[in-house]
Structure 1
Amino acid sequence: MSSRVESWPEHSFFPERLYTAAWALSLVVTLVGTVGVGLGPETRPTGYALLATGGGALALFSLSAEIRRTVGREASSGLRLAIVGVGGLAFVSGVAFAAGVLPGTAAAPLTVRLLILATAFQALLVSVDIRPARPTLRARVAVLLMSHGAIFAGSVLTFPGGPTVPRAGLLLYAGGFGVLLLNAFWARTLSSGTVPPEPETDRRRWEGVLLGAIVVGVLGATAMVLTTQTGTLGLRTPLTQLFATVTGAAAAVALATLGVPQSAPLALGWLDSPAVTVSQHVSTLFVVVNGFVLGIFVAAPGLLGPVFRVFLAALLVGVVLNYAMLLYARRRDPDADPTDPTTALADAGVTVVVTGANEVDALSASLRENVAALDPLPFLLVPAARSSDGTQEVMQAVREDHPDRIRVVEGTGGSKAGDLNQVWEHVETPYVLLLDADETVGASFVTRALRVLSARPDVGIVQGRKYATYPDASRLSRFVSAERQHSTWLDHPFDADVLAAAHFAGSAAVLQREVLPDVDGFASDLLTEDIDLTIRLYLQTDWDVVYVPEMGARELLPGSWTSLLRQRERWARGWAQVAGRHLGDVVRSWRALGLRRTAGLSWLLLLAVSAPLYVIFPALVVPTVALDASLQLSLPVAAAFAVFLLPERAISFAYAVFRDPDIPASTSLRRIVETVAAAYLWIAFGWLVQLHSLYLQFAGAPQTWTVTRKSRPPVASPPDDD
């Protein structure tokens, strides 16, 4: 979410009440006109006239909002005002033509009216997006392709005399204009301050209205397509007229959100909650993506089979890899370390670096335990300057108890990555043990890492395994712990040993001190600086990363569902950022990386942005039901795929939970059912988080390094060495 709240700028041209009344009247007129067009030939002329009048007025409200934001703000405001004026004139003229108001346009075919209306809308929305609305070029290009690209394709399909398939054109129009309206809303919000809007603000409520209108509009267009059996659209049946009316009304509401009054109706307060916000972000992307894909299938039915095979292949690759992880885990021998950790630490040459930002509760439980367990290693404590809950005081108190071993250096970098870059020069040993505030380790964690570093001088990072300190504290803890066990006990060792794609997890790792200087430190402009460091390490240096699951670090889990969502949102956005920045470099560097590592890293980065691919299943199924298309998959083959694909998740989660050497679990029927349920719920939760995160990334949401609130029982369990 954004970091601050701003109100909408005042409507300086009119008193607020007058503006609100005129805006509401224009919207009502537009909606009445839409209904009139949909009712039938008798009311259609009047409906077109009302539609042109109300729609033109709404366009003027949008243009007035853009003018207020342009006047006096920049030296080029004159040029921008000219662009706004041309866009507004083009929109009003286009609406008048589509409505048959202009002389000689009443007899124009429906396809021509649709084409002119689409172009008019496009001109209006382009006039709004006259400033870069995305902080990154990749996000901006993606938005432009999804909007203007889809609209152009829809116009080509709709244009008379060309390959006319208006049904597909309507779907592409609906999705394209949905994204373009979102882009305009994001541009407006970015120019005013923050995006996406904070809960309990007028801006968030208007965003909720826009997202609801986009979803309804795309679904209405889809319903029109599925209920039209021929290749051309028309308003011949009551059902088609109903769907057309719903789609038109949604378009009118969406257009109206570009010039909304300052205050939103109190009745929209239910849109404020984080759950509704996330649900709207996810459902909007879900519906728009499926609308795009379905439009492509309607235009080119022959693509259904190839796309389905790609979809199925992606599923098969993921499931096969997960089965392979299980086999590898069964064959993997536990590490046996005969080293006496007590005597090995004296000359280890390791500095323990602990970061913390508003994490006083976690530090109170972990810091003294780590200081005792890792005696006599020196500690460098890095409290974030922005901490205001006593984090700095706790670190200073521990330093006073051990002045010969502990130093405290305040971090002023604004993020964990920035703080570490800033204090790295204070590290005087060849190795660094990096810990988060909630993590605890034993002495053998260090000795195991040193054994790897001694045997392999090319290793820059030895990553340990993270697992829950209190995995059974609550139902939420068991849910989160099951996923962490699957990830750290099955996924990570397989990625490291089989795919040669071990990655740094940000903490619970021992690093060569020279690793950071060799890659110019952590990237402070990404939300997952650890994954970015891993990729740059592989691309720019000869350092390697090793994952040792027997090096166990206990961690605290998120204390609430909201904390879990925010943690995974940050991770998902960060992975997507790294994928956008480095995936191409990884593929192009396949000779230096080797085919195995290139494939492994590429797969991990693709998974970070794979939700839009995996959620197109409705667009694959609908054509087989409503459009007489075929996936060319026989029932026995489909059954065989289901038997192979469906059980894997439950099997792998059950293995991770009940065979975990560090977290014993009872094999009660309740725990088994709970684990299996968690296995499949994590699929849905992962897709939800990834789609929400992609929405934030496309919207240009600011990067916020929020601290995940952790919870633990009041009485800590006794520490063990590992």
Structure 2
Amino acid sequence: MGIDKLLAFAFWYPVLMSFLWLAGGVYYYLRRERGKPRRDQPPAFADAPLVSILVPCHNEADNIEETIAALLAQRYPRFEIVAINDGSQDDTGALLDALAARHPQVRAIHLDRNLGKANALRMGTLAARAEYLVCIDGDALLDEYACHWLVWHLCSGPRVGAVTGNPRIRNRSTLLGKLQVGEFSSIIGMIKRAQRGYGRLFTISGVVSAFRKTALHHVGYWADDMVTEDIDISWRLQMEHWDIRYEPNALAWILMPETLRGLWRQRLRWARGGAEVLLRHGAGLFTWRRRRMWGVLAEYLLSVLWAMTMLWIIVTWVVGMFTPMPPHWELGGLMPGWHGVVLALVCLLQFAVSLLIDRRYEPRIGRYYYWMIWYPAAYWLLSLMTTLAAVPLTLFKRRGQLAVWTSPDRGYR
């Protein structure tokens, strides 16, 4: 195999996947979103069940009051708030106790040391009074109708094990922030729509999701040794044939990194999470009963293969600068030609379609289309590097090591 075949794969893989996401996302929109009641008109409940809202916290003193205030403003008629203080070293615990004293719907659980988000969620689940759980991060703001939309799905069928919501970026003051607005719409939102249409989701959004407690008990709750507990629980639920749904009306406003260091740490964690679930659960997918997960597995393996291919191409180009290469391995340069233009146009088409769909949730989101011209260069390179770094880090990780909290970069507000 020569360099021309590697170049062909490096070019055609993102083009074909972009069209796959576009087709699936548009299909989902036409079938499940268009004509659906708007965000502030959720379906009515004949008898609304009690819902427990779980808020795992670690050093969230700067955000927790704002987060709890947004939860107390929920339009859903019956809910409790269970805030789990997981070994915080700031004033999070005191603030939660004060909130619980003022609001009877709020309960605070204090854990004496940092054991990680998965453990905090498990403790919150055991303390929850409800069968239906809504889980949200301690720095996120849940839309006032989000609980209603999430619980409606859980009530719609006994096999619905989880529902993932629609995270929206709060902090947009830098180029990285603006790029992430488009990314969550054009990449993450579009992929979730497409995967839901094709049958299985790679992951729920850990920042805003809902679960059936029975389903969690069935699969053994969250794993406390996985760096991304949301990816792991998504795979295990679907491997046991629980359905996971996507609800774009369930909005949550989140803080994201706006520094290169913070972004690198976040995306490396995501990449390591994908590698971990592949190593732990990949072999268990090769049965006919779990065939609906094959698409998710194939897409992930192809993305890793693409990263390896790009690395090989770059190494070949660098080596060729210093030593003669065989004719079938000669590479003229890395500057994009006509194929780079085609790839950029396909990428911009995906951004345009997804932003048009997302105008339903943010009417002025189209103004971020201008900034998306920088996305391929910035984020594809970041994805390439984090994927390559995640594989060895995952392979050499000490087995059974707890995935404890680390305070992330939350950008500028």
Q: Shorter-chain-normalised TM-score: which range?
A: 0.7 to 0.9
> Aligned-pair distance for 1:437?
0.8
Paired residue for 1:501, among 201, 216, 220? 201
The residue correspondences of 1:74-113 to structure 2 (distance < 5 A) are none
TM-score, reference length from structure 1: 0.50
Aligned match of 1:629: 327
**Is 1:368 aligned to 2:69, yes or no?**
yes
1:648 Cα deviation from its structure 2 partner: 1.9
Paired residues of 2:18 and 2:350 also in contact (CA < 8 A): no
The answer for the alignment partner of 1:585 in structure 2 is 284
Partner of 2:313: 617
Match of 1:572 among 271, 274, 278: 271
Residue-by-residue CA offset, 1:544-602 (whole Å, 9 max, x unaligned): 1111122212212225333222222211211111122222322x12x1123x5312343
How many angstroms does 1:479 deviate by?
2.4
In the TM superposition, residue 712 of structure 1 has moved relative to its aligned partner by 5.4
Please tell me whether the aligned partners of residues 337 and 448 of structure 1 are also in contact (alpha carbons under 8 angstroms): no
TM-score (norm. length: structure 2): 0.84
Report the CA distance shift for 1:314/1:630 in structure 2 as closer, same or farther (over 3 A): same
Letter of the structure 2 residue corresponding to residue 485 of structure 1 = S
Of the three residues 502, 526, 535, the one matched with 2:226 is: 526
For 1:550, give the aligned amino acid: N
The answer to whether the 8 Å contact 2:48/2:78 transfers is no
Check 1:553–1:648 CA distance in 2 against 1; reply closer, same or farther (3 A cut): same
Q: What is residue 464 of structure 1 aligned with on the other side?
A: 165
Partners of 2:110 and 2:328 lie apart in 1 by 63
Q: What do you get for the CA RMSD once the two structures are aligned?
A: 3.4
Count of residue pairs the alignment pairs up: 399
Secondary structure, in 3 states, of the residue corresponding to 2:328?
coil
Whether 2:290 is the aligned partner of 1:597: answer no
Letter in 2 for 1:505: S
2:303 to 604, 607, 612: 607
Q: Distance in 1 between matches of 2:338 and 2:3?
A: 21
Structure 1 Cα separation of the partners of residues 186 and 3 of structure 2: 34
1:689 aligns with 2:390: no
- For structure 2, which runs of at least 5 residues remain unmatched after alignment? none
Q: Using the alignment, how far apart are the partners of 1:631 and 1:313 within structure 2?
A: 19
Following superposition of structure 1 onto structure 2, how do residues 516-555 of structure 1 map, counting pairs within 5 Å?
Answer: 516-539=216-239, 541-555=240-254
The residue that corresponds to 2:358 in the other structure is 660
Residue identity opposite 1:520 in structure 2 = G
Q: Aligned residue for 1:348?
A: 49
Question: How far is 1:414 from its partner?
Answer: 0.5
Confirm or deny: 8 A CA contact 1:526 1:574 kept in the other structure: yes
3-state secondary structure, aligned to 1:558: coil
Name the counterpart of 2:60.
Answer: 359
Structure 2 residue 80 is the aligned partner of structure 1 residue 378: yes
Q: 1:676 to 1:659 in 2, by over 3 A?
A: farther
Unaligned runs of 5+ in 1: 1-301, 714-722
Q: Specify which structure has the higher proportion of helix.
A: 1
Identity of aligned residues (%): 20
Give the distance between the partners of 2:126 and 2:382, measured in 1 at CA: 40
| SS, match of residue 530 in structure 1 | helix
Of 440, 443, 465, which residue of structure 1 is paired with 2:141?
A: 440
Letter in 2 for 1:356: C
| Bigger Rg over Cα | 1
Please show how residues 696-715 of structure 1 align to structure 2 within 5 Å.
Answer: 696-698=393-395, 700=397, 705-711=405-411, 713=413
Structure 1's 395 and 709: CA in aligned 2 closer, same or farther, altered over 3 A? farther
Amino acid at match of 2:358: D
Paired amino acid for 2:384? W
Give 2:142's aligned amino acid. V
Q: Which amino acid is the alignment partner of residue 630 of structure 1?
A: H
Q: Does 1:415 align with 2:119?
A: no
Question: Does the 8 A contact of 1:563 with 1:709 survive in 2?
Answer: yes
**Structure 2 matches for 1:48-67, cutoff 5 A?**
none
- Asked if structure 2 preserves the Cα contact closer than 8 Å seen for 1:564 and 1:708, the reply is no
- Give the conservation status (yes or no) of the 8 Å contact 1:399–1:408: yes
The amino acid of 1:458's aligned partner reads R
Could you say what secondary structure the match of 2:204 adopts?
Answer: coil
3-state SS of paired residue (1:707)? coil
**Distance (whole Å) between structure 1 residues aligned to residue 258 and residue 78 of structure 2:** 33
Check 1:378–1:659 CA distance in 2 against 1; reply closer, same or farther (3 A cut): same
